[in-house]
């Protein structure tokens, strides 16, 4: 097997990994090979929170947790291995929750500016969702205009970040039993910023030194992400840009065009990219492109910005996290414009091997070697046009060393939880009833959320695709976001035809009746909040228990790498979902902390963590959990709902 084939299952990526080697471009695949992970840090046993350390407290040889061994496993301040592992773990949650939530804050700020008429070019696109949110948040509707209502909503949304007391408003959306559990366990989040700050305080030297108490704050902060910052981002983006509905898209590096200006939008924030999509359709821009010898302007997405723009406009996806460098290696990208999160610092270096311009746009995310064109939301179209123009003007600089892989796949995306409602129940009677019925009758065994990143420590896309195929083969309907969704789409799992090809008989029959793929794309990483809402809708529909933890559902991030993934996993666990991660697990340095997260959490939250790098084994952990829940609900034996006709009724009466 050629070396590149050991690094990815995706042919387009394999070709570009080879080309990068020929071109002398050093990628994450090369760097991962050259640098082994630190064995002490990877299991959470290194503390660098003060100047006395860093202190390293690896497990003693043979891993015996003897009293003597334990005594030796302390930092200079006396912190135990348990405290150190828990501190590291919840600081990851703080980082992840901060990233999602600061994104949410940016959306809320723009939302308020739009409501006040201070952000020309943007408008409220989904009035129905605006009014629904007004009802949820007790904002008066009456005879007021959308603008007036939106100003109140924008102010309330922004206040959620700095809230000092009480509870986040979106917690009310959760099943009542879950809300009570959060209050009982003391993890109902107050303000989003407050919970993140409290983690930073408690993990400072000499503050909270009880690992269970530290982990509790981790749960509270993660819930502030899922039911707070992320949900605010998703909801307000939907109101501003439209709630996604099924849309046909294409994915993989083959979406780049040899005769057009290729502009890739990369990162997480749709505020600017929404405008870039519009700017690229401007007749003057297209004329300018033609004057430079190009046939047109081709916009393609990367990472979660891509998911956002795909879900609402069908803009093609160039690829997921580990393809960001490989896209440049094609030699056909005029500009890559980046906003926030998951952007590799190596991009400007790789771009030097070709003609690509890397453009940063956020004052929060600059990269040496990139051009900075700051995005001004009050003048968004100007920023967008400046970026598109920069890409066009770079077209004549394209070199001869161009190779665009032909690989691309079709997919259907755009499954917001509202859309699932309409698809299943019909436009006039939107309802989750058919989904619940098919779970109860066993055609659908359960639901799995498979999400998260790529990680060059494992074979690119392989773990996602292998796990998802195993799940759908066993009649588990898969809900997806993030880079995982793109892995499945590239493998052809997101078309309705995939049901007959890959899904078990029961799941395939439901997908074919409704006309949906067995793997549903719900959007970007902040859109994991859509999965929370879908799970809540299933609970509220009835017949499957009265809390998310009663449902036959499970979650996974099999190729995770970012702190955001840990925060997402933790809010799923805190919401009652069994969640399994692959690659590595950051608390393995402490058996006690790991056992607490993997076992004791179940009694507290109804959801718990697991670690299993093998995708087939991980899928079966999820299926076993789903079966356990089916048994508890008394639906473990396949049962068809029988509609009685008159003959059957008479027979019944005669008995």
Closer to ligand XCC by CB, 453 or 458: give it. 453
Using CB under 6 A as the binding rule, the residues of this chain from 466 to 495 that contact ligand XCC are: 482-483
75 vs 122: CA distance, rounded Å: 53
Please, which residue, 474 or 529, has the CB nearer to ligand XCC? 529
Toward ligand XCC, which CB reaches closer, 306 or 350?
Answer: 306
CB nearer to ligand XCC: give 341 or 466. Answer: 341
Q: Which residue is nearest to ligand XCC (CB)?
A: 453
- Nearer to ligand XCC by Cβ, of 329 and 450: the residue is 450
DSSP string, 88-156: HHHHHHHHHHHHHHHHHHHHHHHHHHHHTT-STT-----HHHHHHHHHHTT---TT--HHHHHHHHHHH
Residue 453 CB, nearest distance to ligand XCC (Å)? 3
Contact track, ligand XCC, 318-337, x by CB under 6 A: ---x----------------
Instruction: Kindly state the smallest distance separating residue 266's Cβ from ligand XCC, in Å.
Output: 9
CB of 297 or CB of 525, closer to ligand XCC:
525
Q: Determine the distance from the C-alpha atom of residue 60 to the mean position of all C-alpha atoms in its chain, rounded to a whole number.
A: 37
C-beta separation of 27 from 327 below 8 A:
no
The mark string for 254-293 relative to ligand XCC (x by CB under 6 A, - otherwise) is --------------x-------------------------
268 vs 443, beta carbon nearer ligand XCC: 268
Residues from 431 through 470 that contact ligand XCC (CB under 6 A): 452-453
Q: Which stretch binds ligand XCC (CB under 6 A): 66-74, 557-565, 600-608, 617-625?
A: 557-565
| DSSP letter string, 532-557 | HHHHHHHHHHSSS-SSGGGSSEEEEE
Give the Cα separation of 338 and 306 in Å (integer). 11
CB-wise, 456 or 482, nearer to ligand XCC? 482
Candidate segments 27-35, 243-251, 424-432, 558-566, binder of ligand XCC by CB under 6 A: 558-566
Tokens of 412: 């259907």
Nearest C-alpha neighbor of 189 from the set 170, 215, 214: 170
Q: Per CB under 6 A, does 303 bind ligand XCC? A: yes
Pairing type for strands 446-450 and 553-557 reads parallel
| Start-end of H helices in 414-481 | 417-425, 433-440, 462-473
Residue 436 DSSP symbol: H
Nearest to ligand XCC of 453, 533 (CB atom): 453
Q: Which residues, other chains included, contact 348 with Cβ-Cβ below 8 Å and sequence gap of 6+?
A: 358, 367, 368, 369, 370
Minimum CB separation of residue 151 from ligand XCC in Å reads 30
Q: Are 88 and 44 in contact (CB under 8 A)?
A: yes
Minimum gap (Å) between residue 451 Cβ and ligand XCC:
7
| Closer Cβ to ligand XCC, 45 or 305, answer by number | 305
Please name every residue paired with 447 in a beta bridge, in sequence order, or none if there are none. Answer: 477, 553
Could you tell me the smallest distance in angstroms from the CB atom of residue 72 to ligand XCC? 37
Query: What are the C-alpha distances in Å from 139 to residues 105, 354, 630?
Result: 19, 53, 39
Q: Which window, 65-73, 125-133, 506-514, 559-567, contacts ligand XCC (CB under 6 A)?
A: 559-567
According to DSSP, the residues that pair with 8 across neighbouring strands are: 460
Q: How far is the CB of 233 from ligand XCC (least distance, A)?
A: 12
User: At closest approach, how far in Å is the CB of 452 from ligand XCC?
Assistant: 5
Cα–Cα distance between 629 and 442 in angstroms, integer? 13
What does the angle CA 644 – CA 650 – CA 655 come to, to the nearest 5 degrees?
A: 110
Least distance to ligand XCC from the beta carbon of 505, Å?
32
Closest by CA position to 359, among listed 250, 272, 258: 272
d(CA 193, CA 568): 17
Pairing of strands 371-372, 55-56: unpaired
Minimal distance, residue 593 CB to ligand XCC, in Å: 24
Q: Which stretch binds ligand XCC (CB under 6 A): 350-358, 376-384, 489-497, 560-568?
A: 560-568
Q: For ligand XCC, which residue of 342, 610, 618, 622 counts as binding (CB under 6 A)?
A: 342
Q: Which stretch binds ligand XCC (CB under 6 A): 87-95, 153-161, 489-497, 562-570?
A: 562-570
Q: How far is the CB of 336 from ligand XCC (least distance, A)?
A: 14
Nearer to ligand XCC, 84 or 557 (CB): 557
How many other C-beta atoms are found inside a 10 Å radius of the C-beta of residue 344?
18
Number of residues that bind ligand XCC (CB under 6 A): 13
Q: Please name the residues in contact with 41: beta carbons below 8 A apart, sequence gap of 6 or more.
A: none
Element spanning 480, H or E = strand 476-480
H/E stretch holding 578: strand 578-581
Among 209-217, 288-296, 393-401, 561-569, which window interacts with ligand XCC (CB under 6 A)? 561-569
Read out DSSP for 223-273?
A: HHIIIIIHHHHHHHHHHHH-----EEEEESGGGS-TTSEEEEEEES-HHHH
Rounded Cα distance between 20 and 14, Å, is 10
Closest to ligand XCC by CB, 154 or 452: 452
Least distance CB 285 / ligand XCC (angstroms): 28
Kindly give the interhelix angle for 270-279 and 81-115, rounded to the nearest 10 degrees. 40
CB of 562 to ligand XCC, least distance (A): 4
Nearer to ligand XCC, 340 or 511 (CB): 340
Question: Is the Cβ of residue 25 or residue 568 nearer to ligand XCC in the bound state?
Answer: 568
Identified binder of ligand XCC from the candidate list 424, 525, 544, 566, rule CB under 6 A: 525
Binding site for ligand XCC (CB under 6 A): 268, 303-304, 321, 342, 452-453, 482-483, 525, 562, 564-565
């Amino acid at each position: 097997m050629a070396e590149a084939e050991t690094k990815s299952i995706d042919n387009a990526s394999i070709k570009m990994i080879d080309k990068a080697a020929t071109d002398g471009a050093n990628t994450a695949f090369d760097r991962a090979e050259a640098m082994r992970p630190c064995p002490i840090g990877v299991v959470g046993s290194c503390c660098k929170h003060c100047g006395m350390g860093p202190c390293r407290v690896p497990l003693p040889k043979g891993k015996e947790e003897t009293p003597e061994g334990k005594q030796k496993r302390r930092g200079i301040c006396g912190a135990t291995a348990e405290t150190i592992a828990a501190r590291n773990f919840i600081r990851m949650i703080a980082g992840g929750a901060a990233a999602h939530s600061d994104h949410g804050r940016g959306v809320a700020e723009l939302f308020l500016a739009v409501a006040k008429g201070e952000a020309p070019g943007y408008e409220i696109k989904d009035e129905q969702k605006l009014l629904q949110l007004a009802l949820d948040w007790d904002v008066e509707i009456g005879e007021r205009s959308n603008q007036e209502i939106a100003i109140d909503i924008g102010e309330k949304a922004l206040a959620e970040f700095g809230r000092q007391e009480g509870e986040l408003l979106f917690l009310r959306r959760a099943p009542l039993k879950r809300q009570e559990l959060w209050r009982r366990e003391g993890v109902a989040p107050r303000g989003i910023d407050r919970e993140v700050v409290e983690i930073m305080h408690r993990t400072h030297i000499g503050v909270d030194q009880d690992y269970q108490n530290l982990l509790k704050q981790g749960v509270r902060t993660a819930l502030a992400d899922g039911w707070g910052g992320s949900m605010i981002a998703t909801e307000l983006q939907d109101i501003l840009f439209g709630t996604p509905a099924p849309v046909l898209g294409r994915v993989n590096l083959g979406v780049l065009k040899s005769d057009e200006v290729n502009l890739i939008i990369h990162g997480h924030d749709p505020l600017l990219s929404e405008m870039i999509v519009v700017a690229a359709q401007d007749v003057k821009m297209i004329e300018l492109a033609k004057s430079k010898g190009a046939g047109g302007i081709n916009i393609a997405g990367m990472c979660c910005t891509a998911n956002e723009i795909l879900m609402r406009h069908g803009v093609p996806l160039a690829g997921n996290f580990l393809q960001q460098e490989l896209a440049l290696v094609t030699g056909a990208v005029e500009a890559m414009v980046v906003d926030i999160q998951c952007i590799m610092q190596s991009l400007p270096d790789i771009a030097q091997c070709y003609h690509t311009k890397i453009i940063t746009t956020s004052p929060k995310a600059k990269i040496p070697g990139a051009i900075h064109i700051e995005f001004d939301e009050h003048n968004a179209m100007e920023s967008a046009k400046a970026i598109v123009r920069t890409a066009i003007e770079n077209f004549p600089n394209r070199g001869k060393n161009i190779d665009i892989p032909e690989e691309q796949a079709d997919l259907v995306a755009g499954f917001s939880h509202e859309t699932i409602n309409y698809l299943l129940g019909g436009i006039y009677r939107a309802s989750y009833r058919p989904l619940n019925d098919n779970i109860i009758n066993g055609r659908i065994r359960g639901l799995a959320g498979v999400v998260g990143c790529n990680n060059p420590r494992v074979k690119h896309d392989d773990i996602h695709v292998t796990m998802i195929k195993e799940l759908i083969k066993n009649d588990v309907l898969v809900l997806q976001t993030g880079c995982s969704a793109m892995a499945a789409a590239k493998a052809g799992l997101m078309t309705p035809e995939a049901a007959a090809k890959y899904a078990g008989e029961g799941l395939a029959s439901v997908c074919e009746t409704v006309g949906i793929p067995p793997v549903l794309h719900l959007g970007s990483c902040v859109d994991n909040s859509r999965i929370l809402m879908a799970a809540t809708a299933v609970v509220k529909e009835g017949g499957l228990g009265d809390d998310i933890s009663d449902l036959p559902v499970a979650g996974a991030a099999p190729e995770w790498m970012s702190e955001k993934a840990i925060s997402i996993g933790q809010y799923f666990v805190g919401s009652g979902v069994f969640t399994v991660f692959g690659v590595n697990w950051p608390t393995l340095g402490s058996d006690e902390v790991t056992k607490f997260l993997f076992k004791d959490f179940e009694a507290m939250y109804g959801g718990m963590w697991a670690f299993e790098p093998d995708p087939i084994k991980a899928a079966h952990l999820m299926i076993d959990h789903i079966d356990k829940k089916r048994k508890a609900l008394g639906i473990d034996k396949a049962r068809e709902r029988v509609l009685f006709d008159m003959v059957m009724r008479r027979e019944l009466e005669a008995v």
